[in-house]
Amino acid sequence: MAFPSDLEIARGAKLKPIEEIAADMGLPPAVLEPYGRDVMKVDLEAAELLGDAPKAKYVLVSAITPTPLGEGKTTTTVGLGQGFKHLGKRATIAIRQPSMGPTLGIKGGAAGGGYAQVVPMELLNLHLTGDMHAVTAAHNLLATMVDNHLHQGNKLGLDIDSITWRRVIDLNDRALRNVVVGLGPKADGVTRQTGFDITAASEVMAALALTTGLADLRSRLARIVVGYTRSGEPVTAEQLDTAGAMTVLLREAIKPNLMQTLENTPVLVHCGPFGNIATGNSSVVADLIGIRCGDYLITEAGFGADMGAERFFNIKCRVSGQAPDAAVLVATVRALKAHSGKFRIVAGKPLPEDLLAENPDDVHAGAANLRKQIENIRLHGVSPVVAINAFPTDHPSEHAAIREVAESMGARVAVSTHFTDGGAGATELAEAVAEAADEPTEFRLLYPSAAPLREKINAIATKVYGADDVSYSPTARRQLDTYERNGFGDLPICVAKTHLSISSDPKLLGAPTGWTLPVREVRASVGAGFVYPICGDMRTMPGLGSSPAATRIDFDDDGEIVGLS
């Protein structure tokens, strides 16, 4: 009998009334706003009302460097949360909201998978409570105000060639990467070249994810830089009198969304910042609420530990003031084999037969990446737990190889079968995480806020990525000098680079050494609160593949959605 699809499993879920999920978390009815039958918005007042509740152990889920195969971080996050329930512990999960671009494109949804899912998965993956659309509207309002300012005489002196604020949409559409606006008669606006990014790449999204409250959000939006004058002075959303209206458009989106897993573990779903040019983490406000709602708060960071976890530690935790108690590193047999460099893997195509054959030596050949990511967690004073996300095609000898590597590094390790067995399959992992979280920690940031921008970049490049040095283009050097002159030097760093390698070269697998990080450009997300050096070609508007998921999504004769994954 074939294993059921994620959608079939989700349809069979026995959901509790969402009011019961909230009550189990200790959330009072006064802070809850129903959104249909299965979702609630949680008012930010909840964090203050729960202030006297015991603080949960704070657990981050990260991974080795991802391959086209995927490592299953979200599924592991959900499975771990369910696993704690089998140990008699109360866990709350905090994850990002999926973007509809990937959902309708090649990646699929982000509700987890198998018997470790957030439900209803259709609702989670398609619109949810409209937060993505609110971010899109707030972002594009500022874009329209920029163009209107140009049309009305450009009192602030914006240099038309130095405008950095583009438009966004929550779809994959390569045709919008570069566009010309203002074509037609003079009444239709100033003609200039611009473009679209996906909503997840919006600085508004990043600001929403890092804010601590409504007043703080307005301050962040006010600081957004839309471009520069010819003399290099920044022009902000506040100068365009737009920050207030943007905040109003986000008044509901700032509230986290409460859902549940297949096993009725509570899930706070909030924000979805891009993992390449932003933090790739769910919101600070969701964590400030969830940290008072049980024994464990489990959250996930995008991509590998060199990216999502590093940003979680040095950007998100810097803002929230929270210190993690443990970190999970998800690893799979097939991904470590892929890091050996012996196999050619193409997303959407059948896996090479040799990859699936029993060969623990291939696991050892790709283990350098796992070792380095364990080091990256420890670099911040956090205890790592290696989670072997087990697949039916794995062999016991290959799990043993991963265990040998992890234990040689002094890390705890557990095999988890949450995909096929739900929370019951994650109890070994939950036990290992509980042990790690009970150990004393000395959480530390990688660099102080007052350090110069170049010093911060160098710390990430050499200590986290394993680079020998950093090189800067003349443009990048000028930009860094300008940012420090304009008072942006205290901001943390969010390096924009490939997620397919610890290095800046997607072709370099494992844990490359002897290379230099090339910084070709540096941009400032002043509103969100970070500076991002660009090290490679970063796509902020994905395209669709030859067979998008949208072609398979439809309704059946009973009016049920089909084809969603």
Q: Quick: pLDDT tens for 198-208.
A: 999 999 999 99
In sequence order, what E strands does 380-442 have?
384-389, 412-416
Phi and psi at 248, nearest 5°, equal -60, -40
CA 348 to CA 321: how far, in whole Å?
41
Which amino acid type is present at position 69? Answer: L
- Tell me if domain 136-249 and domain 453-534 are identical in fold: no
Q: Where are the domains of the chain?
A: 6-129+253-438, 136-249, 453-534
**pLDDT above 70: residue 348:** no
Structure tokens at 5: 């699809």
Question: In this structure, what DSSP letter does residue 496 have?
Answer: B
- The answer to whether 38 and 15 have CB atoms below 8 angstroms apart is yes
- pLDDT value of residue 60: 98
Residue range 487-506, pLDDT digits in tens:
999 999 999 999 999 999 99
CA 267 to CA 79: how far, in whole Å?
12
**C-alpha 27: how far from its chain's center?**
26
Instruction: Over range 152-165, report the average pLDDT.
Output: 96
- pLDDT value of residue 61: 98
Angle at 162 between CA 157 and CA 163, to 5 degrees: 85
- pLDDT value of residue 471: 97
Kindly report the pTM of this predicted structure.
Answer: 0.96
Angle at 428 between CA 423 and CA 432, to 5 degrees: 120
Question: Cα separations (Å) of 331 from 109, 336, 457?
Answer: 20, 7, 27
> Can you say whether residue 67 is alpha, beta or left, with left for phi > 0 and alpha for psi between -120 and 50 degrees?
beta
Confidence of residue 306 (pLDDT cuts 50, 70, 90): very high
**pLDDT above 90: residue 108:** no
Q: Which CATH class is domain 453-534?
A: alpha beta
- pLDDT value of residue 53: 92
- pLDDT value of residue 66: 87
Question: Cα separations (Å) of 454 from 367, 464, 498?
Answer: 31, 15, 20
Structure tokens at 389: 């996300």
> Can you say whether residue 185 is alpha, beta or left, with left for phi > 0 and alpha for psi between -120 and 50 degrees?
beta
In this predicted structure, which of 378-382, 445-449, 520-524, 534-538 has the lowest mean pLDDT? Answer: 534-538
Burial of 347 (0-12, 13-18, 19+ CB in 10 A): exposed
CA 488 to CA 484: how far, in whole Å?
5
HSE-up of residue 244 (Cα within 13 Å, Cβ side): 3
What CATH number labels 136-249?
3.30.1510.10
Phi and psi at 59, nearest 5°, equal -120, 125
Binding-site members for ATP are 67-74
Q: Which of 332, 327, 434 is nearest to 381 (CA)?
A: 327
CATH 3.30.43.10 fits 6-129+253-438, yes or no: no
Binding-site members are 67-74
Residue range 440-451, pLDDT digits in tens:
989 999 999 999
Structure tokens at 323: 């210190």
Q: Are strands 39-42 and 32-35 parallel, antiparallel or unpaired?
A: antiparallel
> Can you say whether residue 415 is alpha, beta or left, with left for phi > 0 and alpha for psi between -120 and 50 degrees?
beta
